[in-house]
């Protein structure tokens, strides 16, 4: 009698677990060419279960019957969300589409006239020969700098190898060093 009572109590305790049937939900994931995708991230809701596909593009979940929401994520492919009514074992084939955008026209333009306010001197200018010597010429009208503030550091920052330092707080007295040489600050703009 005692054994029968324990058996009934155990059955009553385990009955809800058996009442909620577990179904098998399997996915096979491929690209449009039919190649299986390994490592696709699959998220099953409301269970909150997360798995990745194997090398054959397959993943299997065990879940209770009911409405399921499944999300698929893979780098380089469009994400997908599917709603599935699970009532018995189910196997679903999924095709993920790659990200792509068709461009109608691509135009490449070359602007040779734009030199960003900097150019090299010609090989011969006037009576001087500059061929084979490193030189830079600043063109203040083409420099994108705040010329109203008279900030020479913005202008001289275009030339490699130039060090500029200020002797006072206002930036009026500048020291300019060029590869070991000391120069007097030239006047860039006319007042």
User: Coil, helix or strand for 183?
Assistant: strand
Which element (helix H / strand E) includes 17? helix 2-19
- At 149-164, the pLDDT tens digits run 666 667 776 677 777 7
Structural domains of the chain, with CATH: 11-95 (2.60.40.10), 118-183 (no CATH)
Whole-structure pTM over 0.75, yes or no? no
User: What tens-digit pLDDT sequence spans the chain (191 residues)?
Assistant: 666 665 666 656 555 555 556 888 889 999 888 889 898 999 988 888 888 999 888 999 888 888 889 999 998 898 889 888 888 888 888 888 988 878 788 888 876 666 666 677 788 888 888 787 777 777 777 777 666 666 666 777 667 777 777 777 665 677 777 775 555 555 554 44
Confidence at residue 72, expressed as pLDDT on a 0 to 100 scale: 92
Confidence at residue 111, expressed as pLDDT on a 0 to 100 scale: 67
Q: Which of 31, 26, 36 is nearest to 95 (CA)?
A: 31
Q: Which residues are CB-contacts of 64 (< 8 A; sequence separation ≥ 6)?
A: 20, 21, 22, 23, 86
Confidence at residue 191, expressed as pLDDT on a 0 to 100 scale: 46
Whole-angstrom Cα distance, residue 92 to residue 70? 11
Whole-angstrom Cα distance, residue 98 to residue 10? 53
């Amino acid at each position: 009698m005692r054994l029968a009572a324990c058996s009934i109590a155990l059955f009553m305790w385990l009955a809800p677990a058996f009442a909620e049937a577990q179904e098998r939900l399997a996915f096979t994931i491929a690209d449009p060419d039919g190649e299986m995708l390994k490592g696709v991230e699959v998220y099953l809701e409301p269970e909150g279960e997360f798995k990745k596909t194997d090398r054959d593009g397959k993943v299997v979940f065990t879940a209770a019957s009911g409405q399921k929401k499944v999300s698929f994520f893979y780098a380089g492919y469009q994400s997908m969300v599917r709603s599935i009514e699970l009532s018995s074992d189910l196997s679903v084939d999924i095709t993920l589409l790659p990200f792509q955008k068709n461009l109608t026209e691509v135009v490449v333009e070359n602007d040779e006239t734009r030199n960003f306010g900097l150019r090299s001197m010609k090989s011969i200018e006037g009576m001087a020969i500059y061929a084979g010597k490193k030189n830079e010429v600043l063109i203040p009208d083409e420099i994108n700098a705040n010329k109203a503030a008279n900030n020479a550091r913005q202008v001289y920052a275009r030339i490699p190898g130039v060090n500029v330092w200020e002797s006072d707080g206002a930036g009026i007295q500048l020291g300019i060093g060029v590869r070991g040489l000391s120069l007097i600050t030239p006047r860039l703009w006319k007042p």
